[in-house]
């Protein structure tokens, strides 16, 4: 489903070369649930952005369903994101001036869905995450947990095959975090592939696999019960 081949990302910052990702290779099959862990600045989000077609690598290639993502032009990549990918952000990134319903409608509007269908589908998705009675609430009128659930509903709007989550529980209390991870597990059971960047060991352990990043390099790929959380874990 998702494949990275010797992907590196370097950039210049204040005259110095910085390596965000170094010769990283990984394969994530369809239906997988992978957590990416590692210290801050280790390249977790860079990796996620590359998988999402938003940051081109300096070297190497990224494939989604066999297609080389960065051989596509910008518009085709935007279309790929609309049709195949769903994003979940740590700070939810809801549009502040839109209601919950309208926020969920955004991806449907981008994929040119009919307005009535947009509303029906958005309402159904919000209902699914338990916010059927909060359709007209603006993000500031919702709790953080509710905001993340709106973001989950928005992510599901175009029925993505792959979900890329950037620290989805980073801003949530433990109880709400469990609830959000529960939703991700549910989406995974539906057959969606999930890649989740997290700092939270409990969230990471709920994934099927863990990738550990250290200084831009994948230092551990653990499967099943194998624990990649410890910094000295070996590459599997």
Q: Which residues bind other proteins (CB under 8 A)?
A: 20, 40-41, 44-46, 48-49, 52, 54-55, 74-75, 78-79, 81-83, 87, 89-91, 93, 95-98, 102, 105-111, 115, 118, 154, 158, 166-167, 170
Least distance (Å) from other proteins to the CB of residue 154?
A: 8
Least distance (Å) from other proteins to the CB of residue 110?
A: 5
Least distance (Å) from other proteins to the CB of residue 11?
A: 9
49 vs 131 by CB, closer to other proteins: 49
20 vs 28 by CB, closer to other proteins: 20
Contact 96, 47 (CB under 8 A): no
65 vs 226 by CB, closer to other proteins: 65
93 vs 176 by CB, closer to other proteins: 93
What is the rounded distance in angstroms from the CA atom of residue 49 to the CA atom of residue 53? Answer: 6
- Distances in Å between the alpha carbon of 54 and those of 1, 132, 217? 17, 32, 20
The b/e string for 173-200 (b: 16+ C-beta within 10 A; e otherwise) is eeebbebbbebbeebbeeebbbbbbbeb
Least distance (Å) from other proteins to the CB of residue 152?
A: 13
Rounded to a whole number of angstroms, the distance between the first and last alpha carbons of the chain is: 20
Helix (H, G, I), strand (E, B) or coil at 47: helix
């Amino acid at each position: 489903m998702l494949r990275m081949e010797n992907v590196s990302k370097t950039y210049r910052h204040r005259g110095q070369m910085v390596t965000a990702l170094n010769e990283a290779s990984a394969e994530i099959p369809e239906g997988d649930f992978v957590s990416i862990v590692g210290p801050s600045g280790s390249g977790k989000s860079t990796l996620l952005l590359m998988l999402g077609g938003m940051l081109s690598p300096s070297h190497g290639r990224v494939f989604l369903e066999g297609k080389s993502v960065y051989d596509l032009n910008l518009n085709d990549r935007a279309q790929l994101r609309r049709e195949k990918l769903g994003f979940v952000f740590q700070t939810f990134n809801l549009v502040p001036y839109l209601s919950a319903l309208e926020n969920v409608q955004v991806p449907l509007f981008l994929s040119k869905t009919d307005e009535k269908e947009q509303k029906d589908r958005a309402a159904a998705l919000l209902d699914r995450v338990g916010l059927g009675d909060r359709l007209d609430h603006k993000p500031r009128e919702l709790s953080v947990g509710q905001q993340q659930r709106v973001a989950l509903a928005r992510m599901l709007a175009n029925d993505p095959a792959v979900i890329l989550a950037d620290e989805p529980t980073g801003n949530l209390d433990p109880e709400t975090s469990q609830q959000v991870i529960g939703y991700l597990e549910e989406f995974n059971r539906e057959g969606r592939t999930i890649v989740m960047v997290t700092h939270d060991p409990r969230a990471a352990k709920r994934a099927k696999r863990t990738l550990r990043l250290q200084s831009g390099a994948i230092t551990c790929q653990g499967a099943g019960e194998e624990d990649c959380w410890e910094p000295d874990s070996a590459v599997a």
